[in-house]
Amino acid sequence: MTKKTRNRSIALLSALLLTGGLFASEGRGRSEVSLHSVKTSPLLEAELRYLEHRPEYDYPIPVIVRTSRAGAAQLLASRPDVRRLSSIGSYVTRMTAAELREIMRSDEVRYVALDAVVRGWNEDRPGRGGGRADRGQDGDASSPSSYLRAMGVDLAHRAGYRGEGVTVAVFDSGMSQHPDLRGKGRLKASVDFTPPYWGQESKKDELHPDQYGHGTHVAGIIGGNGHSSRGQWSGVAPEVGFVNVRVLDSEGKGSTSRLIEAIEWVIERKDAYGIRVANFSLGHPPVNPYLEDPLCRATAALMDAGIVTVVSAGNIGRTPDGMTIWGGIASPGISPEVISVSALNNNQTATHSDDVATSYASRGPTVDYFFKPDLTAPGNRIVSLLAPDSVLARDYPELHVGEHYLELSGSSMATAFASGVAALILEANPELSPDLVKLIMLVTAVKLTEPHMLEQGAGLANAWTAVQLASQLDVRKQRLKKAVTPTWRLDGELVSAGGAFAVADRVVYTPLVDSPDFWGDGNPWTDSLSPFDSSDWLDGLFHPDSVVWIDSVVWIDSVVWIDSVVWIDNLIFSDSVVWIDSVVWIDSVVWID
């Protein structure tokens, strides 16, 4: 990563976020082939080997080529279709297998990745999406207030936090001119990176409406004001501003390279539009290690630019026949830097005792064997804005809720909730860096009883404790100005911030938790993080009747099951592998039995 990334304000957290490389495979029964052993992914390498023996089938493959020096441009500049991605030092082009083998011999070529298709994570296709296919299995639609009350958003609203002064860039299929998104100055800008516009900007959003319907739904979760329902279906931060970044077409598809160009566009204009949060309710399955993944490198540039980056963990949680998948965290959610969010089923209630993981959402670990997801948020049968005349509105009339709303499921929806919480945190304290926003969200998350640790991450996003903690954090002095209460009551249940979380291959706890009653004893913030070596946390977590993404699955346009080889038999599920029993936590950490 960049030198700028390594020199962020919170040194310890940065070190944890940037921990690189794979866990040692010795003694773990995993494949001995490192993802870093060649200049491309195992998936593309297998394709190249196949085509080398069948040259009659060789065809131009869309790729992103990362180079080490400016001189490498000579290898690619003569090609008629080449494009430069300056933020990640790469070029976009199409090359045959023979041409790729030739350029990969150059010392100036660092890595070659597929220019993969990106999609929104709500699609109604088993193994890739979490839409209507999950309605029967994952319960009924939730009541209007249960989403927000579960995260304490209603309490944050009563305290005056509604996202004012914060702009969210929504990378998606566009935003329609829905009544719930209107408001003076709310739409800061709109740009389209789908054909034939390729980066054309319009400040009225008339040039490129949401033809698919996904982006409007996501935007409503983040910041819909509930106008069409008299407040019944409002979003998390109903006063945020928006930058509409259309990267998915009318079929809900886009390309990695065009998404990276859109990221570069946002970075260049972040100050002009006041962009503080970026929402990615999209991605592609994991085929590259995060240090080599183009989307991960581009989202790292967003974080370096001071933009909190919230991404979907994906919906690669089960096979078409219902078998559980582990290790399906999608790109760019595999990056330890971004905030990766998975989908929760709250069973129509605001309280947490009946919360369960959804069947379709991606589970950890990542392809680099890092701990993910970071957080969970409501994602099952979520009612939000309907984009008129969109594909989703037209094809699924049974999902309509009245005239202006639509019900969808998926990690896409959960990601939007987390982005709204990030906006509330930044309203509470605009001086926070992206690292500190992530830290606050992880430290304050609510540990849930039922979901597995690789399904819920640090726990459920907790807006109420997060905004309180953010408001009392003096960034310049790196101290809490006064103590913060990490607990609150929800319909008779005690809601407690967890105080400990995992990042990459480490567990972090905070002595800021002085007692179950308050946080903050005047210690400097930077002295209040301590790492705990948890390099063995991955052992013994998987049921033998499940599969692991990185050993048994490849995905190009659909899920293809190459074989059913699961990691060695020592990866046996144990009832003791739960939050409380599986990790040594320090006594000062607030916990719920």
- Looking at the annotation, which residues are catalytic? 172, 214, 412
C-alpha angle with apex 584: 513 to 10, nearest 5 degrees? 50
CA 589 to chain centre: 26
Beta bridge partners of 504: 371
Nearest-angstrom CA–CA distance, 164 and 466: 16
Question: How would you classify residue 407: left for phi > 0, otherwise alpha for psi between -120 and 50, otherwise beta?
Answer: beta
Determine contact, residues 590/69, Cβ cutoff 8 Å.
no
Residue 18 dihedral angles phi and psi, to the nearest 5°: -100, 10
**Main-chain phi, psi angles of 85, to 5 degrees:** -110, 90
Are 331 and 259 a contacting pair, CB within 8 Å?
no
The length of the chain in residues reads 593
What is the Cα–Cα distance from 218 to 386, expressed in whole angstroms? Answer: 10
d(CA 77, CA 60): 17
Pair 162, 237: CB distance under 8 Å: yes
Instruction: Order the strands of the 117-120 sheet from edge to edge.
Output: 253-255, 117-120, 282-283
Phi, psi of 40 (to 5 degrees): -155, 175
How many of the other CB atoms lie within 10 Å of CB of 73? 14
Q: Name residue 410's beta-bridge partners.
A: none
- What is the token pair recorded at 379? 């994602």
Q: Evaluate whether 367 touches 347 at the Cβ level (below 8 Å).
A: no
- Tell me the sheet residues that pair with 434: none
Contact indicator for 309, 299 with CB cutoff of 8 Å: yes
Instruction: Confirm if 312 and 65 have CB atoms less than 8 A apart.
Output: no
Burial class (CB in 10 A: 0-12, 13-18, 19+), 54: exposed
Q: In the chain, what's the furthest Cα-to-Cα distance? A: 71
User: Counting beta carbons within 10 angstroms of the beta carbon of residue 348, is it exposed (0 to 12), middle (13 to 18) or buried (19 or more)?
Assistant: middle
What token pair was written down for 509?
């706890």
- Asked if 324 and 362 count as a contact pair (C-beta separation under 8 A), the reply is no
Residues 6+ apart with CB under 8 A from 3: none
* Nearest CA-CA partner of 433 in 243, 548, 277, 315: 277
Give the separation between CA 272 and CA 266, rounded to whole angstroms: 10
